[in-house]
Amino acid sequence: MRRALLDSAHPSSSCSSSALPGGHVFLLILLFALVAAIVAVGLCGYGGRTLADHGLRRASVPAVLRGLAALAGAGACALYAWGLLALCGAVMTAEDGGTDSSPPRSCRTAGWSERHRQGIEIVDYEVTYLPPAFVCETSDGGSYDTGEVPGFVNPAVLSLALAAAGGAIGSGYVTELRARAEFREQQAG
């Protein structure tokens, strides 16, 4: 009842822990982690094959950029899956009922007992998928990230994803420039 009242009072754009019943949040996170891992393996295979087929020294610039972009994308997907698995562990711990389950153990970070003595209670938690984070909400309307997902995961995922996008765009740009140059040569010759 308390969680339902909080959800209606604090609508959120991200997926809250109570937006899905029971262990469905846990299963959804596992599904996302599995998809990210499969995509990482596929991109790694594509990038490695692209670089191996052409040979790194003999390959054209677009092929090298495509291969490196795929490998960077694979790294981003693998790190994202790792962050989701860490998030999955936090959700499993938070959903574990029984004795000593309130406040959720995942929310018991440094200083939570001090806040409790001041009358600030942990009332709910929220799970965000992009970026992966486990956020605890307090009775005073505040919230805090518990740090369940390692701090380097989200910046590394962003950096690798940007590198992958840059490599893919660069490959397309170089290919387009070469095609235009060949067309101009054919028109002139």
The pLDDT of residue 114 is 78
CB-hemisphere CA count at 13 Å for 40? 18
Q: pLDDT tens digits for the chain (189 residues)?
A: 334 333 433 434 344 444 555 567 788 888 999 999 999 999 999 999 998 987 777 878 899 999 999 999 999 999 999 999 999 888 888 877 766 667 777 777 777 777 777 877 878 888 888 889 988 888 888 888 888 889 999 999 999 999 999 999 999 999 999 999 999 999 987
pLDDT at 120: 79
What pLDDT score was predicted for residue 113? Answer: 75
pLDDT at 18: 46
Residue at token pair 């740090």: 147
Closest CA to 87 of 187, 138, 14: 14
**Quick one: which of 87, 100, 97, 78 has its CA closest to 146?**
87
Report the candidate in 122, 127, 117 with the shortest Cα–Cα distance to residue 142.
122
pTM: 0.78
What are the helix (H) ranges across 55-100? 61-95
- Position 177 scores a pLDDT of 92
Which pLDDT value is given to residue 55?
78
